[in-house]
A and B are shown apart, each in its own frame.
Chain A
């Protein structure tokens, strides 16, 4: 896998072709350091990425959760024990003391890219 060093000091990697990411269905991405992110596109085209490891069950499953919204906030529900997380902030809306790391995502020339380091939430 290629690692691209780019603007603002962030390290980006290509995640998948843009058309592989259908609205409201996540995919898992393996990071160079062995970590994983769950990548989502919401109905309005926005892209989000959070750590793929469910903080409650410790299983790498967040990408397989159901995407939706709670009071307008874009969310994903863990498929394991159903806790709901904000895709924007990574905060668990059912237990705000828990927060999932968030990565930055962008789309370039038909490819979706994510940063290898989290930009928010717990590192």
Chain B
């Protein structure tokens, strides 16, 4: 077996190992990876999402060791290369021999040598350790200054903002992102960034960073002016880490970078260099797509191939909330004879420029600011003949730049990060990839920067695979469309809705869905009039059906807080009615085994003792889990129990597309597991952090941070908006996690709607929630007070008091449980049972 040593376990080093393992089916190479960082490789491109709810695990790249034949040595950097002996020495003194060596050492952040650059509180933005250090510094910081207004600097400024720090960006050039965009786009971008709350200073350089009395950063001096700063982040550029190569006598470029040829080989034929430490064709690329391409070339060469690296796509898209910027191809129009087509729509806050060849037939590049939806469609066209009038392609309101993916040739790269062509995607769809997730899984497209995902959706749609949005055979409309119809027309009954907008008589899919819509929009008791016939059995009997036809009783215990007296009542009721009793996963108590005809008597006792429905049966708010919080806990910084109870009482009974769960923790230790909930609230010293879209269940997902450090009233306002927006626009049985994932624009769009009121509907959403809160009434009390509704709670219409003879219990651990064999089952037709 031959020995391959890879120095560096960053994104490109990782890709190289994967690519070799993919191709090396005969096991020719054993691979040793020497890694300076002590964590396994992670997605550096998505680094900023660390401040937006992602954790280290979310960012981690697939495990290399599991692939076999890989010795991954974390925290063991290489210190020297002996080319003559073909060995590498590591920090621990180990000497590793190689037949082939790949340098993938990446680059380091460049820190300009201004006075004070190394004071405590000064940071760079490159590794997870850097981000942890920034988080620690930001804890007591009020103002932060980012030096550098490029792609990275803007991401860093946004990170500071998410950490609750007022951010300034200082850029020496006259506009932001000068490397990628032109002056016209830069002017608009400056304004858009300023609107996010970041203060922009362009055309100025930093002279010095100055310390305060405590020895930490306090100010940044910009010529005449100075800015207060409790934290400083340098993001002015990168320097290839070519020190090992230099010491080993390999050639490096004038501005750094190990010089390599088309095979990515250095002048030593056993040594290759890839990624940001390499200089290929005179260029050091600071982007992932070229790095990945180099990794593929080297993997191919190591296995006897002849692949060559001849340059790569340098398109970029800014990943910042609410600010759309993209630049691709020859964005600055440097090709001789290039022509520019510009659309500068200041009031519409859009700037778009296409660079085309002198005959205006070939697309060379472009810049999009304010609205980059056309990016995914335009980028693959670079270097190709334009399908139409260039101006037409950037005209407003044309999804995907007016280009159907159909217009793209098969060899056009749809995903440039992972070099996936349209042809490969079409083949995968043809072979059965039926949604974006599967397509991502089998082609790798869309798994890096994500900007090609809209194209994946379009390809699926064009292949006719996209699933119909029709609710069921009775309604062509999606749930969200039905919400709009009901809102706009005031239709108040299912019969009228199906007569006017549907066909047939409905089914167990559309009836409960419409019942939920009518309940959330119009209020009223869910068993009133015709509505009763729409409810599935759980809502019908205000209890959850169990496998033997009995029901469970779950009284609401807001926040999980309960008095001893109420606990005793629950115990007495359970004992008197012979119910099995269990503490649920939602911090409350479930009484199981009640027969239909027992439910009213059980609930009479509970309602008299001050309990109300816990809606365990409804597609509505379940529980708001809490931790003990600051009242008792020595770490607590806010009253989490108080807030949990307030939230539970506020949103109880709200009918929604699916169940809603929430949690409130009193500090970052997160004992309430709030990030596993649809709504998670975590106390901070300054207020509350609001997370949304968490889920346990079939596909666990951590909630994403929506806003941080908001005060109580703002928090409630945002949750009101969030929930009502969900109620109005989600699909049937779509939890918030799936809703956000499927939303065009994802979390950023959601934040724009909820926080920035980008759609101008916030007041409307808040008013709808206010109506819900004032209109709330306990459903069980409503039944007990109404003889007509009570009449439904009988075993048999012709023998109301005879218990169902098929129900029998036996005793297990001193409690009654259903007797008889357990019939296991999931529904035959549908993949998941849902109740």
> Is there an interface contact between B798 and A1, defined as CB atoms closer than 8 Å?
yes
> Is there an interface contact between B829 and A64, defined as CB atoms closer than 8 Å?
no
> Is there an interface contact between B796 and A28, defined as CB atoms closer than 8 Å?
yes
Nearest residue (CB) in A for B550 is A59
Q: Total contacts A to B, CB within 8 angstroms?
A: 123
Chain A, residues 36-74, CB within 8 Å of chain B (1/0): the string is: 100100110000000001001111110011111111101
Known contacts A14-B798, A65-B537, A81-B833; decide if A71 and B547 are in contact (CB<8 Å).
Answer: no
11 A-B pairs besides A13-B798, A79-B536 with CB distance below 8 A are A1-B799, A15-B797, A20-B797, A29-B797, A53-B806, A56-B828, A57-B825, A68-B504, A68-B506, A71-B473, A79-B538
Q: Counting CB contacts under 8 A, is A10 at the interface? A: no
> Is there an interface contact between A59 and B533, defined as CB atoms closer than 8 Å?
no
Report the separation of the CA atoms of residues A61 and B823 in the bound assembly, to the nearest whole angstrom.
15
A42 CB to closest chain B CB, in angstroms? 7
> Is there an interface contact between A80 and B798, defined as CB atoms closer than 8 Å?
no
Interface centre among A16, A23, A82, A94 (most CB of B within 10 A): A82
Q: Counting CB contacts under 8 A, is B830 at the interface? A: yes
**Sampled A-B contacts (7; CB under 8 Å):** A20-B797, A30-B795, A60-B806, A61-B549, A69-B504, A71-B473, A83-B827
Nearest residue (CB) in B for A29 is B798
Q: Counting CB contacts under 8 A, is A75 at the interface? A: yes
> Is there an interface contact between B505 and A68, defined as CB atoms closer than 8 Å?
yes
Q: Which residues of A contact B799 (CB under 8 A)?
A: 1, 30
Report the separation of the CA atoms of residues A86 and B572 in the bound assembly, to the nearest whole angstrom.
44
> Is there an interface contact between B796 and A30, defined as CB atoms closer than 8 Å?
yes
Q: Counting CB contacts under 8 A, is B826 at the interface? A: yes
Q: Which residues of B contact A88 (CB under 8 A)?
A: none
Report the separation of the CA atoms of residues A70 and B795 in the bound assembly, to the nearest whole angstrom.
28
Report the separation of the CA atoms of residues A77 and B829 in the bound assembly, to the nearest whole angstrom.
12
A18 CB to closest chain B CB, in angstroms? 11
Q: Which residues of B contact A69 (CB under 8 A)?
A: 504-507
Q: Counting CB contacts under 8 A, is A84 at the interface? A: yes
Q: Which residues of A contact B806 (CB under 8 A)?
A: 36, 53, 58-60
Q: Which residues of A contact B798 (CB under 8 A)?
A: 1, 13-16, 29-30
- A81's partner among B505, B548, B795, B827 (CB-CB below 8 A) is B827
A59 CB to closest chain B CB, in angstroms? 4
> Is there an interface contact between A74 and B505, defined as CB atoms closer than 8 Å?
yes
Report the separation of the CA atoms of residues A55 and B820 in the bound assembly, to the nearest whole angstrom.
15
Q: Counting CB contacts under 8 A, is A119 at the interface? A: no
- B797's partner among A39, A56, A66 (CB-CB below 8 A) is A39
Report the separation of the CA atoms of residues A23 and B549 in the bound assembly, to the nearest whole angstrom.
23
Q: Counting CB contacts under 8 A, is B804 at the interface? A: yes
> Is there an interface contact between B547 and A59, defined as CB atoms closer than 8 Å?
yes
Query: In which size bucket is the chain A interface?
Result: 35 or more
- B826's partner among A16, A27, A81 (CB-CB below 8 A) is A81
Q: Which residues of A contact B506 (CB under 8 A)?
A: 68-69
Q: Which residues of B contact A53 (CB under 8 A)?
A: 806
A74 CB to closest chain B CB, in angstroms? 7
Known contacts A70-B473, A81-B833, A84-B508; decide if A34 and B823 are in contact (CB<8 Å).
Answer: no
> Is there an interface contact between A61 and B545, defined as CB atoms closer than 8 Å?
yes
> Is there an interface contact between A95 and B828, defined as CB atoms closer than 8 Å?
yes
- A77's partner among B508, B540, B807, B820 (CB-CB below 8 A) is B508
Q: Counting CB contacts under 8 A, is B541 at the interface? A: yes
Report the separation of the CA atoms of residues A60 and B546 in the bound assembly, to the nearest whole angstrom.
11
Report the separation of the CA atoms of residues A20 and B788 in the bound assembly, to the nearest whole angstrom.
10
> Is there an interface contact between B802 and A57, defined as CB atoms closer than 8 Å?
no
B495 CB to closest chain A CB, in angstroms? 8
Q: Counting CB contacts under 8 A, is A22 at the interface? A: yes
- A56's partner among B473, B505, B823 (CB-CB below 8 A) is B823
Q: Which residues of A contact B223 (CB under 8 A)?
A: none
> Is there an interface contact between A79 and B827, defined as CB atoms closer than 8 Å?
no
> Is there an interface contact between A60 and B507, defined as CB atoms closer than 8 Å?
no
Q: Counting CB contacts under 8 A, is B805 at the interface? A: yes
B80 CB to closest chain A CB, in angstroms? 67
> Is there an interface contact between A82 and B508, defined as CB atoms closer than 8 Å?
yes
> Is there an interface contact between B537 and A79, defined as CB atoms closer than 8 Å?
yes
Q: Counting CB contacts under 8 A, is B465 at the interface? A: no
Q: Which residues of A contact B830 (CB under 8 A)?
A: 82
Q: Counting CB contacts under 8 A, is A117 at the interface? A: no
Q: Counting CB contacts under 8 A, is B532 at the interface? A: yes
Report the separation of the CA atoms of residues A71 and B474 in the bound assembly, to the nearest whole angstrom.
9
Q: Counting CB contacts under 8 A, is B353 at the interface? A: no
Nearest residue (CB) in B for A82 is B827
Q: Counting CB contacts under 8 A, is A106 at the interface? A: no
Report the separation of the CA atoms of residues A59 and B547 in the bound assembly, to the nearest whole angstrom.
7
Known contacts A30-B799, A69-B506; decide if A60 and B549 are in contact (CB<8 Å).
Answer: yes
Q: Counting CB contacts under 8 A, is B614 at the interface? A: no
Q: Which residues of B contact A80 (CB under 8 A)?
A: 545, 547, 549
Q: Counting CB contacts under 8 A, is B121 at the interface? A: no
Report the separation of the CA atoms of residues A56 and B829 in the bound assembly, to the nearest whole angstrom.
12
> Is there an interface contact between A66 and B511, defined as CB atoms closer than 8 Å?
yes
> Is there an interface contact between B508 and A66, defined as CB atoms closer than 8 Å?
yes
Q: Which of A75-118 contact B (CB under 8 A)?
A: 75, 77, 79-84, 94-95
Q: Counting CB contacts under 8 A, is B512 at the interface? A: yes
Report the separation of the CA atoms of residues A66 and B547 in the bound assembly, to the nearest whole angstrom.
17
Report the separation of the CA atoms of residues A53 and B820 in the bound assembly, to the nearest whole angstrom.
15
A84 CB to closest chain B CB, in angstroms? 7
Q: Which residues of A contact B473 (CB under 8 A)?
A: 70-71
Known contacts A16-B797, A30-B798, A79-B545; decide if A66 and B507 are in contact (CB<8 Å).
Answer: yes
Report the separation of the CA atoms of residues A122 and B530 in the bound assembly, to the nearest whole angstrom.
33
Interface centre among B508, B804, B825 (most CB of A within 10 A): B508
B516 CB to closest chain A CB, in angstroms? 13
A20 CB to closest chain B CB, in angstroms? 6
> Is there an interface contact between B533 and A30, defined as CB atoms closer than 8 Å?
no
Q: Which of B513-559 contact A (CB under 8 A)?
A: 532-534, 536-538, 540-541, 545, 547-549
Known contacts A29-B797, A68-B504; decide if A56 and B825 are in contact (CB<8 Å).
Answer: yes
Known contacts A30-B802, A34-B805, A82-B827; decide if A77 and B532 are in contact (CB<8 Å).
Answer: no
A80 CB to closest chain B CB, in angstroms? 7
Interface centre among B792, B799, B806, B825 (most CB of A within 10 A): B806
> Is there an interface contact between A29 and B796, defined as CB atoms closer than 8 Å?
yes
Interface centre among B795, B796, B806 (most CB of A within 10 A): B796
Q: Which residues of B contact A27 (CB under 8 A)?
A: 796-797
B783 CB to closest chain A CB, in angstroms? 15
Q: Which residues of A contact B804 (CB under 8 A)?
A: 28, 36, 60
> Is there an interface contact between A22 and B533, defined as CB atoms closer than 8 Å?
yes
Interface centre among B538, B798, B825 (most CB of A within 10 A): B798
Q: Which residues of B contact A70 (CB under 8 A)?
A: 473, 507
B551 CB to closest chain A CB, in angstroms? 10
Q: Which residues of B contact A71 (CB under 8 A)?
A: 473, 504
Q: Which residues of B contact A82 (CB under 8 A)?
A: 508, 827, 829-830, 833
A29 CB to closest chain B CB, in angstroms? 5
> Is there an interface contact between B828 and A81, defined as CB atoms closer than 8 Å?
yes
Q: Which residues of B contact A74 (CB under 8 A)?
A: 505
Q: Which residues of A contact B797 (CB under 8 A)?
A: 15-16, 20-21, 27-29, 39
- A25's partner among B507, B533, B545, B825 (CB-CB below 8 A) is B533
